[in-house]
Amino acid sequence: MAVLIDPPLWPAHGTMFSHLVSDTSLDELHELVGRTPISPKAFDEDHYDVPRHLIDDAVAAGATRVTAHELTRRLAASGLRIPAKERPAKIRPRLLRSWKTTVPGAPETGQELLNRWDSPGREYHTTVHLAEVLDNIHRLGSASFEDSDSWLVLRLAAWYHDAVYRGRPEEDERDSADLVTTDLTGVVDPGALDRVRGLILGTIDHTAAGRDPLWPIFHDADLGILAASPGRYGRYASAVRREYSHVPEDIFRRTRAEILEGFLNQDRIYLTDVASAQWEGVARNNLRSEIASLRDG
């Protein structure tokens, strides 16, 4: 267990800054900072930005001086490092450009959607999840079709499938499906909107029966997080817990384990051949690991 600080190499606000991280847990990092004059506002998802004049205070509280390379290496190895693609502020401009190419006639709607995705109270269902689903759609769909109508339906389903998220299963999906109709009637072809609604409603239970031909791609893109790297999967699981922080621990553990076991009990978690071949084994390992942790308390 160690809290690390690198040299002050990063200029800002008329001074130089260091990075302060833990290679074990954020709780350890926050606890040390609580014993220093460093402002809580200096926290940036996986590190604190420490101005030069407070470096000695961090060291006196227990931080260890290391090189910038050593700090980065140990933070990455810990699984606590948040890459740029998981930072809403970094990916928002890219998402907005994507929206403008998807629905050129409604730029303000894209801004409003991004605000919904990054509204207070969301921890996992943020623009990071939206970006990952869009990336997964392109990864899986590129091997299946080329027509623009299918791409439009899938992209809109991604943008709207968690646009309404208040932690109310089934109601949130229905409200999200209603929102796409409200926002895009007269802008997007009615037939395409009906297909988008169908894909969104399919996420209520993630079953495949009677779905649109695009359902396997959308289903797999939405569940791609289950096959994430161990570090990313751990951050996902922690974010889900924070979203349900109002649920007592024993109830959350039991319910979450039952949901994950439901995926494990399926013959195939993923419906497309591409996802099944590339992700199935990794996803099952992640699920077994989390279930074991949940059951063990």
pLDDT 10s digits, 220-234: 999 999 999 988 999
Using a pLDDT cut of 90, give the percent of the chain over it.
Answer: 80
Instruction: Say yes or no to pLDDT of 143 above 60.
Output: no
Q: What integer best gives the mean pLDDT of the chain?
A: 92
Average pLDDT of span 211-221: 91
Average pLDDT of span 11-20: 95
Query: pLDDT grade, residue 209 (50/70/90)?
Result: low
Average pLDDT of span 129-145: 86
Whole-model pTM: value is 0.82
User: What does the H/E/C string look like for the chain?
Assistant: CCEEECCCCEEECCEEEEEEEECCCHHHHHHHHCCCCCCHHHECCCCEEEEHHHHHHHHHCCCEECCHHHHHHHHHHHCCCCCHHHCHHHHHHHHHHHHHHHCCCCHHHHHHHHHHHCCCCCCCCCHHHHHHHHHHHHHHHCCCCCCHHHHHHHHHHHHHCCCCCCCCCCHHHHHHHHHHHHHHECCECHHHHHHHHHHHHHCCCCCCCCCCCCHHHHHHHHCHHHHCCHHHHHHHHHHHHHHCCCCCHHHHHHHHHHHHHHHHCCCCCCCCHHHHHHHHHHHHHHHHHHHHHHHHC
pLDDT 10s digits, 281-292: 999 999 999 999
Predicted pLDDT at 86: 84
